[in-house]
Structure 1
Amino acid sequence: MTDAPGLEIPADLLLPESGTGPGIVLLQEIFGVTDYIRSRARDLADLGHVVLVPHLYARLGDPVVEEGGDGLPRAMELLQQLDWEQAVADGVAALDALRSHDAVTGGTGVLGFCLGGGLAFAVAARAEVKPDVLVSYYGSALPDLLALAPQVGMPSLHHFGEADTYIPLDTVREIERAVTATNDAVTFETYAGAGHAFDNPSPTFHHAEASQAAWATTTAWLAEHLPAGEASAG
């Protein structure tokens, strides 16, 4: 872990092979900063980005719970305990801290999964200095955040599964209409047969085809909107 100036919670910092690059704040799912989240952080670093992963549950003791069905009840309890406004403030502080880090060259973005996908959207809206890009995977809070859409004007990428029982397809289409109404730099992708948290490797959630397609899209989209130069071979 690392201490970042202005950030009151611990965070993991991952550097690309080059040692410098554009920054990405990666925001966790409801299960905490799990091996899955760490692996995605490493994937982003391998693309050439400087990645900061704030531990949003640090104020709750920084628990990590089992991913999948067995851990879901405990994860939902943690979600209920999480102070949303504080978590948004922590995300904004992480963005500001990363932007000022010596290793960061170029722009800075925010990317999140599930809980983190909604938080990323809120951070993008609330930050005084906006992120350069936003990537949100099935942001679980987005249906309640659509009033913030006019404040999210940066290039944005959204991923949703069309078989998501947590965010039904009618709601996904409502989100799409809201986020594209005032922002012509939105890429909005949906995946047939994929449920909620389809990128999570747990058998409870994982949809291999959607996960692979979404990550390929994310990789190409970041290369266009937050280019990191030559990525490492790792």
Structure 2
Amino acid sequence: MQTRQLDAYDPLEDFEPRKITLDGTTKMVHVSGKGPAVIVIPEVPGISPHVARFARWVREAGFAVYVPSLYGRDGEPVDLEVGQAIFKRVCVSAEFRAFGAGGSAPVTKWLRGLAGLAHNECGGPGVGAIGMCFSGNFALSMMLEPAMLAPVLSQPALPLDDDAGLQIASDELNAIKKRLDEENLTVMGYRFEGDRFCKAQRFAAYQEALGDRFISHVLPDSAANPHVPEFFEKVVQTPHNVVTVHLIDEEGQPTRKARDEILAFFALRLRTSTLDGR
């Protein structure tokens, strides 16, 4: 894969930009690769070069990757002032419902539709998805779509006002737990130990709700890349972004191991027709 600067604009020229309308709502989705589909849901402030790098890793691992544009300017490097403005807008957006546990973010309905569309286009046993930060728990809500087989929750940050909140309606959570049990599926979760947006209470709540169907991975803060854009240094302030800005792309690094585990999880679920558990 071509090495790109992570602090410069990424034109995403190796992705096909597609306007996709689902349930009356149109969003831009950047699509690339062949194979079973994986939806990479960007973190705030958007499809940064770091998010695009992860999407390319997914593509190079043998998947068709779908990256929906939910906020920010696609390909733009992370800027402090712009990032703060996007963060504030997303916090008050009804589409994402950043505050208050007990209900799923409305945008997850659109994302479930995207999962169904991607499966129809790409075939295979089903679809995978990874959410990060603001979108971190969206992949769980997407399990209401039958095609979704491989959900990854990376540093799920919502709701912001309840450390143990899961931002999903109880009936939806119960339906998902039933499906996980019946189909022998699992949910992968990743966070840094000292993350102030995704604390231990949240993962404990997932564990209580999903039991051994939730596979928790907690990385030490010392594993995080200390060299991050100013937005993450001044606004996020703690290790947070496991597979993007806080990832250290070097052999033996825990964050690269986390990336490889996620890619292996997608391969396990999406490249075979037999679900043999994990």
What interval of TM-score do these two structures reach, taking the shorter chain for normalisation? 0.7 to 0.9
Q: CA RMSD in A?
A: 2.6
What residue is the counterpart of 1:2 in the other structure? Answer: 18
What residue is the counterpart of 2:240 in the other structure? Answer: 196
1:91 to 111, 114, 119: 111
Q: Which range is displaced more, 73-82 or 157-166?
A: 73-82
What residue is the counterpart of 1:150 in the other structure? Answer: 174
Give the residue type in structure 1 aligned to 2:154.
Answer: Y
What residue is the counterpart of 1:217 in the other structure? Answer: 261
Does 2:215 match 1:187? Answer: yes
How far does residue 159 in structure 1 lie from its aligned partner after superposition?
A: 0.7
Does 2:85 match 1:74? Answer: yes
What residue is the counterpart of 1:63 in the other structure? Answer: 73
1-structure distance, mates of 2:116, 2:91: 26
How far does residue 196 in structure 1 lie from its aligned partner after superposition?
A: 1.6
How far does residue 14 in structure 1 lie from its aligned partner after superposition?
A: 0.8
Instruction: Answer yes or no: is the 8 Å Cα contact 2:126–2:147 preserved in 1.
Output: no
Instruction: Answer yes or no: is the 8 Å Cα contact 2:155–2:192 preserved in 1.
Output: yes
2-structure distance, mates of 1:168, 1:117: 13
2-structure distance, mates of 1:225, 1:215: 16
2-structure distance, mates of 1:219, 1:199: 11
Q: How many residues align?
A: 211
Q: Which range is displaced more, 65-74 or 37-46?
A: 65-74
Give the residue type in structure 1 aligned to 2:112.
Answer: V
1-structure distance, mates of 2:206, 2:78: 26
Name the CA shift for 1:44/1:144 in 2 (closer, same or farther; >3 Å).
same
What residue is the counterpart of 1:231 in the other structure? Answer: none
Question: Identity across aligned pairs (percent)?
Answer: 14
Does 2:198 match 1:174? Answer: no
Instruction: Answer yes or no: is the 8 Å Cα contact 1:120–1:134 preserved in 2.
Output: yes
Name the CA shift for 1:212/1:69 in 2 (closer, same or farther; >3 Å).
farther
How far does residue 92 in structure 1 lie from its aligned partner after superposition?
A: 1.5
The higher radius of gyration belongs to: 2
Q: Which of 1 and 2 has higher RCO (CA within 8 Å, sep 6+)?
A: 1
Name the CA shift for 1:67/1:211 in 2 (closer, same or farther; >3 Å).
farther
What residue is the counterpart of 2:30 in the other structure? Answer: 12
Does 2:158 match 1:141? Answer: yes
What residue is the counterpart of 2:132 in the other structure? Answer: 113
Structure 1 unaligned regions, length at least 5? 229-234
Tell me the TM-score normalised to structure 1 length. 0.78
Instruction: Answer yes or no: is the 8 Å Cα contact 2:119–2:147 preserved in 1.
Output: no
